[in-house]
Chain A
């Protein structure tokens, strides 16, 4: 099974091939290793790699996966084909809510030309206002929210087409 994950700013690929008796061949971004996995229920596994056993605990919240590895925690997000949520911003051009909150202001409309760094909209959460700015110059293709709307983290808010200048 292949799956794609967002890990902070990176996109990572995992391929899992079942062998026999709880053993798997794993490729992470092309690096291969073998692993045996003992399921312990409720998202818990004992993973053994090169003779070293580690207890892991995986919990899901939407597309996010909370992975506890020993006493370390990681948050990964499942990327699905065609979800339009590619982190490779220029491709989808979607700007997402960085946190759950209430949209307080929308400063642009579809068709507007924007410069890099221009405020697009503001979200308030826990009495803090967070302004979302254009990461590159371009044109607003769509505004997917309105003031007063409650949004979850990761939800696309604005679609921004790259303008003359390169989005890089």
Chain B
């Protein structure tokens, strides 16, 4: 839907693809033309390159936008699209492959003169263990082809390392098809700052400033913003310069994100590069006034950068919260079911990118993101105030979500002051939040629930029907990770 919105503004007819289960999904009903590509199981639909390419041919499409998920960082898919004579909106298959291998990406950063997190690669566990002892603990064990925090293990002493390497390799083998792992020194109290870049594929690249994404749980982002709070202008220049250098050395084509870890001492290290549009791209769009999907399309169509670095400016501050179907007070357990009521904030300077509405099913098998709520303001305090109010306005019932967690985060003193690192939520925030969330509900809430049981046609009567319409998880595929032209 996000992508179709821009296509329609540009006078290009979007064609969405959908699985059997998504016949009534928002991304399908929201565009004039949509084609079925197979059954609910993503392996035979959203992950089936042939089915997607065949649909593009049937529709007479010229290009395929891979969205954020499923095949967005799949080199074989990018290659198949190009082999079919279609344009892939994104980097070349070689770039997807090279940057997807975290070891090759680290080598590229070194070549660009950018520091990488001290680490070690090696064929066998013994060599890695020896390197770790030299480097010092704690270390992180990561999958070479991993991403999104999956399969990462923190090891604080030599004893647990052999077992962690073996288990990470096994997981990497089954999840990414390659058991290679590598080690990285774990930086304490580091922040996650990333730079949005755009390259022409021939060695020219520009940046669209940075995003701060340190507010994470289980290594996954929950609140992101731009600009990064507390970043000096000098440090911002060095970070963006490093990101552009990496994109230039990679001869990167299209929109990408260079991720860095920023130590408390101001030293920064290359982490990885994402070769797709990021979930958090709206904060960059709101502060630069640029439509990232449009920029992707323009680069794909012309092979040139549509604007020069000095034409990119940023204004104000934008902050995004990710609404997930998960129980933050109970270990972030994923939740599923049917959304009985969803109402999004309607207020000035707030943007909502939602994948669900009242009546939508929330599936069991995928990343349980429901919506992104993004606020813009003249400065950080104004943006955060608007986000807080927007979260208060949001109504989501039927499935437990992280909405109370987001509201508490947005109100916390550390977030207001911009003082946190990637582990702050789990180290300092979560305990207090969980205690608060488990406090008894106010008497008025109980009175309201009891009152609703008495009202005619109220929940008591509807309860059975509500249970009956809850779709089987197997029949519902995520609406968020839109592949294809949607």
Interface residues of chain A, those whose CB is within 8 Å of chain B, are: 1, 3, 5, 7-10, 12, 14, 16, 24, 26, 28, 31, 33, 35, 37, 39, 43, 45, 47, 49, 54, 56-63, 65-69, 71-76, 78, 98-102, 125-128, 130, 150, 152-153
Contacts and interface: CB of A to CB of B under 8 A. Distances in A.
B449 A130 contact: no
B308 interface: no
A130 B331 CA distance: 11
Contacts of A99: 327, 333-336
A149 to B, nearest CB: 11
B397 A57 contact: yes
Contacts of A59: 340-341, 397-398, 459
Contact of A31 (B392, B443, B460): B443
A5 B337 contact: no
Interface in B465-484: 466-467, 470, 472-474
Contact of B440 (A12, A67, A78, A153): A12
A127 B446 contact: no
A164 B337 CA distance: 39
A126 B407 contact: no
Nearest to A100: B336
B331 to A, nearest CB: 9
Interface in B378-398: 392-393, 395, 397-398
A62 B448 contact: no
A65 B451 CA distance: 12
Interface string B95-131: 0000000000000000000000000000000000000
Contacts of A68: 395, 397
27 contacts: A7-B440, A7-B446, A26-B447, A26-B450, A31-B443, A37-B451, A43-B459, A45-B448, A59-B340, A59-B341, A61-B338, A63-B463, A65-B449, A65-B459, A66-B340, A67-B448, A68-B395, A69-B442, A73-B403, A74-B441, A76-B445, A76-B446, A78-B460, A100-B336, A125-B333, A126-B364, A152-B470
Contacts of A37: 451
Interface stretch (B154-162, B189-197, B266-274, B365-373): B365-373
A98 B332 CA distance: 12
A58 B448 CA distance: 7
B218 to A, nearest CB: 10
Given A61-B397, A126-B364, A67 B441 contact: yes
A39 B451 CA distance: 10
A12 B447 CA distance: 11
B415 interface: no
B318 to A, nearest CB: 22
A100 B454 contact: no
Contacts of B442: 69, 74
A66 to B, nearest CB: 4
Nearest to A66: B397
Contacts of B338: 61
B337 A61 contact: yes
A153 B325 CA distance: 13
Contacts of B452: 43, 45, 58, 60, 65
B404 interface: yes
A60 B340 contact: yes
B302 interface: no
B397 to A, nearest CB: 4
Nearest to A32: B443
Contacts of A57: 341, 395, 397
Contacts of A98: 330, 333
Contact of B458 (A12, A43, A66, A72): A43
B335 A153 contact: yes
Contacts of A153: 335-337
A102 B460 CA distance: 28
Contacts of A43: 341, 452, 455, 458-459
Contacts of B443: 26, 28, 31, 33
Contacts of B426: none
A100 B450 contact: no
Scoring A67, A102, A130 by chain B CB atoms within 10 A of each residue's CB, the highest score goes to A67
B47 interface: no
B244 interface: no
A61 B463 CA distance: 6
B450 A126 contact: no
Nearest to A58: B452
A5 B365 contact: no
B24 interface: no
Contacts of A47: 444, 447-448, 451
A45 B470 CA distance: 26
Contact of B449 (A8, A58, A73, A102): A58
A101 B335 CA distance: 9
Contacts of A150: 364, 472-474
B428 interface: no
Contacts of A74: 441-442, 445
A101 to B, nearest CB: 6
B136 to A, nearest CB: 31
Contact of A35 (B399, B441, B447): B447
B204 interface: no
A95 to B, nearest CB: 15
B367 to A, nearest CB: 7
Nearest to A69: B445
B163 interface: no
B387 to A, nearest CB: 13
Interface in B304-342: 327, 330, 333-338, 340-341
Nearest to B447: A26
B188 interface: no
Nearest to A59: B397
A23 B367 CA distance: 45
B451 to A, nearest CB: 6
Nearest to A13: B446
